[in-house]
Structure 1
Amino acid sequence: MRIAREGSLRVHTGRRRVRGGGLRKTTVAIAVALAAAAGVASGAADAARTSQRAATLSVMTRNIYLGGDIAKPIPARTREEFEAKATELWNVVRRTDFPTRARLLAREVRRHRPDVIGLQEVALWRRGPTGVKDGSATPARTVVYDYLALLLRELARAKLRYRVAAVQREADIEAPTSLGYDVRLTMRDVVLVRRRTGLRVVRKFGRNYKARLVVPTVVGTFTALRGYAGVDLALGRQRVRVVNTHLEAFLDQTRVAQAQELVARGGPLRTPLPLIVVGDLNSDPRGENPGAYRVLQSFGLRDTWVLRHRSKPANSCCLAREDLSDPTPAAFDHHIDHILVKPRMRVLAQVVVGTDPRNRSRSGLWPSDHGGHVAVVQLPRR
């Protein structure tokens, strides 16, 4: 199923050659043309009134994959083992080749043209100077991969006009490798908004969760910092809040506490505006770890996939191979990427993206270890 986009509907008219002529035919033709023009004007006015009554917004959630398994070095018992495992991770990050994957992601965006995109794992990878391996004492500053800049470049090349509406910086971790230098990972959640007539960013916001995972290792203690990025949007006379988040992956207790922060008094989901929540919740309502999803569900959020498709599977996670070389999409076997709304909204269309083997690189790379979702919703009237 493919979501219709602006400009995708065309009206084709044919021409038939008529023999003969005369004043009568000319008069009839003029009358028909005037009536048609009046009908078009009336139809345009009706369409304008309809758009004011029930504006529609298309939304995508997409975890774009930081490039490797960051848990790999954590169990190391010696510094040497840690550095070797960190080097393995860094080699996989380079092999998963985000500049190429960014083109695949831009292809998805071009096909569906969502108005709002919530991105998770928008990594910024940097390296330090050779000979310096002291972790964050000497912050690494040389950019190797800026996933946000690379994706924006590919969107621009595809003639897709998006603005960065909100960025929330998450975990910032630097560690030594056996290559003679430190590697630094800075994680971000990002909201992109399409430059569309009538769609404006009224406010942006973001914050880190108080609930966070602290991970001790042989080279120091790392903090898995997570949070959310959000925007309040105006679409004509309609208003809506969109919140993008990536909840904790490795500990359910922390993940549930983060979901509770979202809905707590003073949290970003406490708003009189219509609300759309997108993200990688790491919580499958029908599988393992449903707790965080249930917290949001109890707050009154409705799953757009369920509203549209009822019990049909919505699996979009996750590939089995760290290097994105899975030969088939079989490993996409659970549903942790979500689009949720409050109050209940009419869902005009929703699809899973990123699981089609045809959208891979020539070397067989998938766009990400996740798939994603795109939904078109009708905003409630205010």
Structure 2
Amino acid sequence: MTRNVYLGAEVGAALALIPDMPAAAQSLWDQLRATDISVRAPALAREIVAAKPDVLGMQEVASWECRAGLGGSTVVFDFLSLILDATRAAGVPYVVASANGSEARNPGYSIPAIPFVTMVHDPATFQPLFGSDDAACGFSISDVIAVRQDRASSVRAAGAVDYAETTALVPVIMVVPRGYVWADIEIDGAPTRFVSTHLESFSSPGEVPPSAIQARQLVRDLSETSMPLVVMGDFNSDPRDPRDPGANPGEQPVVSEACPAQDGSEPSCSAYWTMVGAGFVDAGPDSADPANLSWGGAADLAGPDAARLDAARAMGNGVGFTDRLDYVFASNYARIVTAHLVGEGWPDGAGMWSCGTRICMASDHAGVVARLAIATGVGIDRPPGPENSRPWGLIFRGGAFALALAIVLVIVGVRKLRRDPIR
């Protein structure tokens, strides 16, 4: 099962408020509180427990931290703990896949809590923690592979790898890394390599999307894997990409001189077709069917995004989703049996929750659940990819002072954004 759990806020909307850093930070925090992870975590757990997958890949697993002064930061909202605790409370506990001192968790993009800069006002939250009405807050997001607790002892190896291709929203100052996590798990006598990733959502007009470049590395890194292989995640790539701007409400990569129109198999600017071209089988459900689109929820999760609803319906998606971004791929000795979406049926479904007088989604994405038949009698391969260098998620050279010096560059970078950089 793959599930983008949504970090709880639209980063692009907050970045548009820069250079007013406190306003940007407050925007992120207010969105986070409105999309209440303490309520969403049990909703996500209901979906997970209903599907009861052996292996669960999650993206945008956020950790929000705050500090009242110059001292250390305090974790205020830990998505991973909340979701895993909720699965335990629901009767089917999950744990992070780990073995030999390594775990399948890869911290990536982050905005640090910078005193006097990323300031947030929330007396109800901060008074019990800090004795203050205000605090500096920030977040980081991770990719994680979790396993059902009864499978925890079957994890033979685990790790994380960073992609060489990063996205510089502001050169040197604001760099967004991506990567993947992996775990070799023996399920009923069948060793299988599971990989979960979240490819870059941002792309610049006229250039090859970073997601396609990252997918090429993923394919290279896995090319020597001979054991059964399952790759899942948010690929930020629709089979129709790149496409005509007029048929692109989700602002996916568009046709340009560098990126020719998609003919149904062209991989040069498509992460999806890079995977398929490398021999990976899309588990489905049918990614060409508009009913199976997996992204388009509103930032506040109160249903589909109203700005794209008419376009979604014109495509044939009655819920309001406009793009297929989430997949499970299989290769080698892993054979697809069935697949279905979860979280796509707003306002109905196990993952829905009451947000005031409205019904909200558990995430702005749908998830994919796939059942596979795995061959036995295959050995375990060497770990994939190069040694992980673990770059920082959001690199600040010189701390808050460097950030202040970079405000003009940030403004330029924000104006160039075509879409939310985290999706």
Normalising by structure 1, we get a TM-score of 0.74
The corresponding residue for 2:214 is 258
Query: Which structure 1 segments of 5+ residues have no match?
Result: 1-59, 133-137
The corresponding residue for 2:385 is none
If you compute each CA radius of gyration, which structure gives the higher value, 1 or 2?
A: 1
1:72–1:86 contact (8 Å) kept in structure 2? no
Give how far 1:344 is off: 6.9
Matched, 1:361 2:353: yes
Q: Which amino acid aligns with 1:62?
A: R
Aligned residues: CA RMSD: 2.4
The corresponding residue for 2:94 is 162
Which residue among 124, 140, 163 is the counterpart of 1:209? Answer: 163
Q: Write the distance in 2 (CA, Å) between the matches of 1:335 and 1:99.
A: 27
Q: Write the distance in 2 (CA, Å) between the matches of 1:207 and 1:375.
A: 24
SS in 2 for 1:123: strand
Q: Write the distance in 2 (CA, Å) between the matches of 1:291 and 1:262.
A: 13
Give how far 1:211 is off: 0.8
Q: Write the distance in 1 (CA, Å) between the matches of 2:237 and 2:367.
A: 14
Matched, 1:325 2:302: yes
Matched, 1:82 2:17: no
2:241–2:270 contact (8 Å) kept in structure 1? no
CA spacing shift, 1:198–1:372, aligned 2, 3 Å:
closer
Identity of aligned residues (%): 31
CA spacing shift, 1:197–1:232, aligned 2, 3 Å:
closer
2:229–2:333 contact (8 Å) kept in structure 1? no
Give how far 1:373 is off: 0.5
The corresponding residue for 1:225 is 177
Normalising by structure 2, we get a TM-score of 0.68
The corresponding residue for 1:100 is 39
Which structure 2 residues correspond to residues 1-382 of structure 1 after superposition, within 5 A?
Answer: 60-76=1-17, 78=19, 81-130=20-69, 141-165=73-97, 166-174=104-112, 176-177=118-119, 179=121, 180-196=134-150, 200-216=154-170, 221-251=173-203, 253-264=209-220, 267-268=221-222, 270-288=224-242, 289=253, 291-305=270-284, 309=286, 311-313=288-290, 314-319=292-297, 321-326=298-303, 330-343=319-332, 345-356=334-345, 357-359=347-349, 360-363=352-355, 364-382=359-377
SS in 1 for 2:173: strand
The number of residues matched between the two structures is 307
Give how far 1:381 is off: 4.5
SS in 2 for 1:71: helix
Q: Write the distance in 2 (CA, Å) between the matches of 1:70 and 1:344.
A: 40
1:349–1:376 contact (8 Å) kept in structure 2? yes
1:318–1:334 contact (8 Å) kept in structure 2? yes
Give how far 1:303 is off: 0.3
SS in 2 for 1:126: strand
1:255–1:292 contact (8 Å) kept in structure 2? yes
CA spacing shift, 1:236–1:361, aligned 2, 3 Å:
closer
CA spacing shift, 1:82–1:196, aligned 2, 3 Å:
same
Q: Write the distance in 2 (CA, Å) between the matches of 1:121 and 1:205.
A: 17
CA spacing shift, 1:107–1:241, aligned 2, 3 Å:
same
